[in-house]
C-alpha cells in the first residue's frame, strides 16, 4: 500500500455524525451479543435489572456498572469452574491469551479469527498513519507469547505489505541492521536508547542507519525521553498504546495525540468517582467497550471495562492528517501512580526529571524511585536513584537541580512542602547497580514503601 495513505479510507475519514451513528449501531449489536453469548453479561444484566434493549447509543453506557480486572479474575478458574467472560463456542476460538498478571492472577482472553482481523486492522491503521507502507521492514522488539502485541503487529504488517523482523528483543546483533536494512523498529524507550548506545560503542552510527522511524509501544513515557531518543537516532519517534483487552491507539505523523479506532472500540473517560463522564480536556479513567460489527463474533468482549489507566480526550475534531477519529493523551497506568501529601505522582513525573537534557551528558536514562514514610506521620521522603555512566565524573549538583526544577514545575503543592514535611534524596549508581536489575519481569520504577 502507498505510504502515507489510509488503510481504511472510508472509515478513518468518516464525518463525525456518520461515525457516531455507526458507533451507536455497534453499541446496540454488541450489547445484544454480550447478553446472548456471554454467561457473565447475561447474569450481569439480570442482577442489575437492566434490559439490554434499552441501551441504544453510546451515552447509555453510563447507566451500566463498570467491570474491573478483578471482576474478570473472579469469573474464571480457579475462582470459578468456567470462563464466564468467554463469549463464543470453543470451535470458534482461535487463540487463548493471558495478561502479564503483574497485579494478580493473569486475566484470560479468548480470540476468534474475527477478533484477530479487527486487532490487525487497528495496528495497520496505526502503521500507515505513521508513514509506513508496502516494502517497509520493521524490527519488532516485543515478546511473542501470551501477550498479543507482537503478533498483532505481525498480522497488521501482512495487510500493509510490510516485512517483519521478529527479533523479540532489542539486543539483536548489528548485522540485522546491516543485512536487512530495516526502516523501522518497535520497542520501549529504554530498549531503543540502549540499542543506540550499543551501536555507537561498536562504531556504528544510529543516525546513519536505514531506520526511518521509531515506534514506542506498551508504556507511557515523558516527552523529554522521547526527545532524547529522537536526538540519538535523528529520527521521528511515534507513540502507540495497546492492550490485550483491545485498545490499540496510535499517533500519526502530525503528533497531535493518539487516534482511537472509534468504530471498533468505544472509549469513555470517567471522573475518579466513576459516576459521570468528564468533559473533553479533563483527566479521568479510560473506560472501554468492545464494538462488534453487526453479525460479528468475539471470543471475549468487554462492556464498560475500567482500564485503570488515566487519559484526556484532546480533540474530536478532524486531525490535520485527515482522520476524524478522536485523539487522546498518552494513557498513564494508575498502578504507576502514588499519592504524596495529597498529590498524585506518576512514574512519568520521575522520568521527566531524569531525562532533562543537561542530565543526559551523565545519565544512562535508567532510574528507579521509592517513597518512604509512616502512615501516621505527615512526612514523606522520595528517593530517586539514577544510573550514571560514571558516578565520579557526574555533575551531581546539576542533575539534582535539573530534576527538582522539572519535578516541582508540575507539583506546586509538593514544592511548597519541600524542606518541611517532604524531602527528595538522590543516589547515583554505576551501570547495573539499580535494584530493578535484580528483579524478574517488567521493571517497577516507582515503588511505595510506606508502612
The 3-state secondary structure of the chain, one letter per residue: CCCCCCCCHHHHCCCHHHHHHHHHHHHHHHHHHHHHHCHHHHHHHHHCCCCHHHCCCHHHHHHCCCECHHHHHCCCCCCCCCCCCECCCHHHCCEEEECCCCCCCCCEEEECHHHHHHHHHHHHHHHHHCCCCCCCEEEECCCCCCCCHHHHHHHHHHHHCCEEECCCCCCCCCHHHHHHCCCEEEECHHHHHHHHHHHHHCCCCHHHCCCCEEEECCCCCCHHHHHHHHHHHCCCEEEEEECCCCCEEEECCCCCCEECCCCCEEEEEECCCCCCECCCCCEEEEEEEECCCCCCCCCECCCCEEEEEEEEEEECCCCCCCCCCCEECCCEEHHHEEEECCEEEEHHHHHHHHCCHHHHHCEEEEEEEEEEECCCCCCEEEEEEEEECCHHHCCHHHHHHHHHHHHHHCCHHHHHHECCCEEEEEEEECCCCCHHHHCCCCCCCEEECCC
CATH assignment, 337-448? 3.30.300.30
Write the pLDDT tens digit of every residue in 118-127: 999 999 999 9
Query: Do the Cβ atoms of 416 and 391 come closer than 8 Å?
Result: no
Q: Which residue has the higher pLDDT, 397 or 143?
A: 397
Q: Which residue has the higher pLDDT, 276 or 83?
A: 83
CA distances from 303 to 42, 152, 267, 419, 424 (A): 12, 22, 10, 47, 42
Out of 55-59, 141-145, 427-431, the most confident range is: 427-431
The pLDDT > 90 percentage for the chain reads 81
| Averaged pLDDT of the chain | 92
**What is the reported pLDDT for 301?**
93
**pLDDT band for position 62 (50/70/90)?**
confident
Class of 1-330 in CATH: alpha beta
Q: What nine digits make up the cell of 177?
A: 541492521
- Mean pLDDT along residues 153-165: 95
Domain boundaries, the chain: 1-330, 337-448
**What is the reported pLDDT for 375?**
57
**What is the reported pLDDT for 103?**
54
Query: Do the Cβ atoms of 261 and 119 come closer than 8 Å?
Result: no
Q: Mark residue 69 as left, alpha or beta (left: phi above 0; alpha: psi -120 to 50; beta: remaining).
A: alpha
Write the pLDDT tens digit of every residue in 369-387: 999 997 556 789 999 999 9
Asked whether the CA dihedral 404, 408, 411, 414 is positive or negative, the reply is: positive
In terms of Cβ atoms closer than 10 Å to its own Cβ (0-12, 13-18, 19+), residue 363 is: buried
Q: What nine digits make up the cell of 7?
A: 488503510
| Closest to 165 measured CA to CA, from 148, 180, 187, 155 | 180
- Residue 405: count other Cβ atoms within 10 Å of its Cβ: 12
- Kindly tell me if the per-residue pLDDT of 356 is higher than 90: yes
- Kindly tell me if the per-residue pLDDT of 418 is higher than 70: yes
- Kindly tell me if the per-residue pLDDT of 267 is higher than 70: yes
Angle at Cα 236 formed by Cα 230 and Cα 240, nearest 5°?
A: 100
**What is the reported pLDDT for 138?**
97
Give pTM, 2 decimals: 0.92
**What is the reported pLDDT for 274?**
59
**What is the reported pLDDT for 101?**
56
Helix 149-160 to helix 113-129 angle (10° resolution) is 70
Interatomic CA distance for residues 108 and 113, integer angstroms: 17
Write the pLDDT tens digit of every residue in 277-308: 889 999 999 999 999 999 999 999 999 999 98
The pLDDT > 70 percentage for the chain reads 96
**pLDDT band for position 104 (50/70/90)?**
low
**What is the reported pLDDT for 99?**
81
**pLDDT band for position 164 (50/70/90)?**
very high
Same CATH topology for 1-330 and 337-448: the answer is no
**What is the reported pLDDT for 376?**
55
Write the pLDDT tens digit of every residue in 311-342: 999 999 999 999 999 999 999 888 899 999 99
- Mean pLDDT along residues 147-168: 93
Amino acid at each position: 500500500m502507498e505510504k502515507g495513505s489510509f488503510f481504511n479510507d472510508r472509515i478513518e475519514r468518516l464525518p463525525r455524525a456518520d461515525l457516531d451513528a455507526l458507533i451507536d449501531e455497534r453499541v446496540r449489536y454488541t450489547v445484544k451479543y454480550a447478553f446472548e453469548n456471554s454467561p457473565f453479561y447475561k447474569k450481569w444484566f439480570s442482577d442489575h435489572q437492566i434490559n439490554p434493549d434499552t441501551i441504544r447509543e453510546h451515552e447509555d453506557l453510563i447507566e451500566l456498572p463498570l467491570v474491573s480486572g478483578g471482576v474478570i479474575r473472579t469469573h474464571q478458574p480457579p475462582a470459578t469452574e468456567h470462563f464466564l467472560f468467554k463469549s463464543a463456542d470453543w470451535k470458534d476460538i482461535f487463540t487463548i491469551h493471558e495478561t502479564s498478571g503483574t497485579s494478580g492472577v493473569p486475566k484470560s482472553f479468548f480470540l476468534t479469527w474475527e477478533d484477530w482481523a479487527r486487532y490487525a486492522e487497528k495496528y495497520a491503521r496505526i502503521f500507515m498513519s505513521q508513514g509506513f507502507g508496502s516494502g517497509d521492514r520493521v524490527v519488532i522488539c516485543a515478546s511473542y507469547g501470551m501477550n498479543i502485541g507482537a503478533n498483532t503487529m505481525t498480522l497488521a504488517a501482512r495487510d500493509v505489505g510490510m516485512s517483519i523482523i521478529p527479533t523479540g528483543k532489542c539486543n539483536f546483533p548489528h548485522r540485522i541492521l546491516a543485512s536487512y536494512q530495516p526502516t523501522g523498529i518497535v520497542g520501549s524507550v529504554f530498549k531503543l536508547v540502549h540499542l543506540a548506545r550499543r551501536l555507537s560503542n561498536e562504531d556504528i552510527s544510529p543516525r546513519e542507519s536505514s531506520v526511518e522511524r521509531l515506534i514506542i509501544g506498551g508504556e507511557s513515557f515523558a516527552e523529554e525521553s522521547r526527545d532524547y531518543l529522537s536526538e540519538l537516532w535523528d529520527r521521528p519517534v511515534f507513540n502507540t498504546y495497546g492492550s490485550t483487552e483491545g485498545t490499540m491507539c496510535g499517533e500519526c505523523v502530525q503528533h497531535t495525540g493518539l487516534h482511537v479506532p472509534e468504530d471498533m472500540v468505544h472509549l469513555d473517560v470517567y471522573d475518579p468517582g466513576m459516576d459521570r463522564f468528564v468533559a473533553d480536556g479533563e483527566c479521568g479513567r479510560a473506560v472501554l467497550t468492545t464494538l462488534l460489527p453487526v453479525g460479528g463474533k468475539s471470543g471475549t468482549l468487554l462492556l464498560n471495562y475500567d482500564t485503570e489507566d488515566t487519559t484526556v480526550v484532546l480533540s474530536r475534531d478532524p486531525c490535520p492528517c485527515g482522520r476524524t477519529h478522536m485523539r487522546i493523551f498518552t494513557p498513564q497506568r494508575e498502578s504507576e501512580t502514588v499519592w504524596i501529601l495529597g498529590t498524585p505522582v506518576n512514574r512519568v513525573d520521575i522520568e521527566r526529571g531524569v531525562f532533562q537534557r543537561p542530565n543526559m551528558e551523565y545519565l544512562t536514562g535508567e532510574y528507579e524511585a521509592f517513597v518512604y514514610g509512616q502512615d501516621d506521620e505527615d512526612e514523606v521522603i522520595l528517593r530517586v536513584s539514577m544510573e550514571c555512566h560514571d558516578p565520579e565524573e557526574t555533575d551531581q549538583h546539576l542533575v539534582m537541580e535539573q530534576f527538582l526544577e522539572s519535578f516541582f514545575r508540575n507539583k506546586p503543592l509538593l514544592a511548597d512542602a519541600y524542606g518541611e514535611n517532604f524531602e527528595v534524596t538522590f543516589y547515583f549508581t554505576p551501570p547495573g547497580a539499580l535494584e530493578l536489575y535484580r528483579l524478574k519481569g517488567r521493571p517497577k520504577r516507582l515503588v511505595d514503601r510506606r508502612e
